[in-house]
């Protein structure tokens, strides 16, 4: 179909400009435009795939197919809110999935229970979110465990992930709010090239201390167009705009794809042209 062939456009290069490296030496992180929710693909140069969250729409498969994902080596649910796990059961049922990790915090929604029962009936290997390293080919995923059980806000039980490829580092922390960000800070976080804004760019999910420690060059915010929560919050945007050289938003940019070279340089491509009035620029 045509939309599978239309490339992302508007490529911006960081730290070194254009590259002639072999495609097999490029890793990718693709933040999918799933509306008001989170989903990201991490693909190693060897073709290994991690799916971090799966949006809230059960039918995430067309988005995965668009990025040529037909199997998942590890699916990671940052936390069990439906806007992060809504598409996960369909993925487990429809694609070969080898491993699944979640934060181990129980929930009571039908979305969660059905997913867990599907996992139980499958041969997917469940992983606890302990302080462990997952080698996704030559991409390293270092797990930042959430605080031990406690509190009533599942956002603050989000799994943190440090993604490393060569000299490039990214950090994803689901819907962590400041309480959990402070927990991560107390254990040490790296400075990063790319930071996924926690909790869709909520004001309660960023702080000067967090940005001072992580020092992101690029921030990606995953949120829905005209979402009812007003994400990203203007106060959070001010923080990100001050610190980062670029802030990408799935509500305005569509899918945001980061192609990473082992020397630490990377290119960012977006699906939509913000200056266009027509909205989608491909056959979405």
Nearer to another protein, 155 or 250 (CB): 155
Q: Token pair of 158, please?
A: 């989000």
Q: Token pair of 177, please?
A: 């709010």
Considering only residues 7-66, where is the footprint of another protein by CB under 8 A?
A: 48, 56, 58
Phi, psi torsion values for 156, nearest 5 degrees: -80, 15
Report, in Å, the least distance between residue 120 CB and another protein.
6
CA-CA distance, 220 to 258, in Å (whole number)?
Answer: 10
Nearer to another protein, 227 or 262 (CB): 227
Nearer to another protein, 60 or 154 (CB): 154
Q: Token pair of 167, please?
A: 């000299």
CA-CA distance, 237 to 253, in Å (whole number)?
Answer: 15
Report, in Å, the least distance between residue 253 CB and another protein.
25
Q: Which of 21, 71, 94, 153 binds another protein (CB under 8 A)?
A: 153
Residue 117, H or E segment = helix 110-121
Which segments within 32-119 are labelled E, that is strand?
A: 39-43, 49-54, 72-76, 97-102
> Is residue 228 at the binding interface for another protein, with CB under 8 A as the rule?
yes
Nearer to another protein, 200 or 271 (CB): 200
176 with 199: CB under 8 angstroms?
yes
Q: Is 96 helix (H, G, I), strand (E, B) or coil?
A: coil
Nearer to another protein, 20 or 123 (CB): 123
Report, in Å, the least distance between residue 132 CB and another protein.
5
Rg value, the chain, Cα: 17
Report, in Å, the least distance between residue 214 CB and another protein.
24
Report, in Å, the least distance between residue 246 CB and another protein.
28
Considering only residues 119-138, where is the footprint of another protein by CB under 8 A?
A: 119-120, 125-128, 130, 132-137
> Is residue 212 at the binding interface for another protein, with CB under 8 A as the rule?
no
Residues 6+ apart with CB under 8 A from 147: 156, 157, 180, 183
Binding site for another protein (CB under 8 A): 48, 56, 58, 73-74, 81-83, 98-99, 104, 106-114, 116-117, 119-120, 125-128, 130, 132-137, 152-155, 228-229
């Amino acid at each position: 179909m045509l939309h599978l062939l239309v490339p992302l456009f508007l490529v911006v290069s960081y730290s070194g400009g254009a590259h002639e490296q072999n495609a097999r030496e490029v890793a990718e992180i693709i933040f999918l435009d799933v509306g008001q929710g989170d989903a990201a693909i991490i693909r190693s140069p060897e073709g290994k795939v991690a799916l971090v969250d799966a949006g809230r729409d059960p039918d995430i498969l067309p988005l995965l197919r668009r990025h040529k994902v037909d199997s998942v080596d590890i699916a990671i649910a940052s936390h069990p809110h439906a806007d992060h796990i809504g598409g996960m059961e369909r993925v487990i049922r429809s694609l070969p999935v080898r491993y699944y990790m979640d934060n181990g915090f129980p929930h009571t929604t039908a979305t969660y229970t059905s997913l867990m029962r599907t996992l139980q009936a499958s041969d997917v290997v469940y992983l606890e979110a302990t302080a462990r390293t997952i080698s996704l080919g030559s991409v390293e995923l270092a797990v930042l465990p959430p605080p031990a059980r406690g509190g009533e806000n599942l956002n603050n039980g989000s799994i943190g992930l440090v993604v490393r490829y060569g000299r490039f580092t990214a950090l994803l922390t689901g819907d962590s709010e400041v309480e959990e960000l402070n927990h991560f800070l107390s254990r040490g976080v790296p400075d990063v090239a790319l930071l996924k804004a926690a909790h869709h760019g909520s004001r309660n999910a960023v702080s000067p201390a967090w940005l001072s420690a992580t020092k992101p060059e690029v921030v990606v915010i995953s949120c829905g167009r005209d979402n009812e929560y007003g994400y990203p919050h203007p106060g959070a945007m001010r923080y990100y705009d001050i610190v980062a050289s670029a802030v990408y938003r799935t509500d305005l940019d569509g899918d945001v794809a980061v192609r990473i070279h082992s020397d630490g340089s990377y290119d960012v491509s977006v699906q939509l042209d913000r200056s266009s009035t027509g909205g989608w620029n491909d056959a979405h």
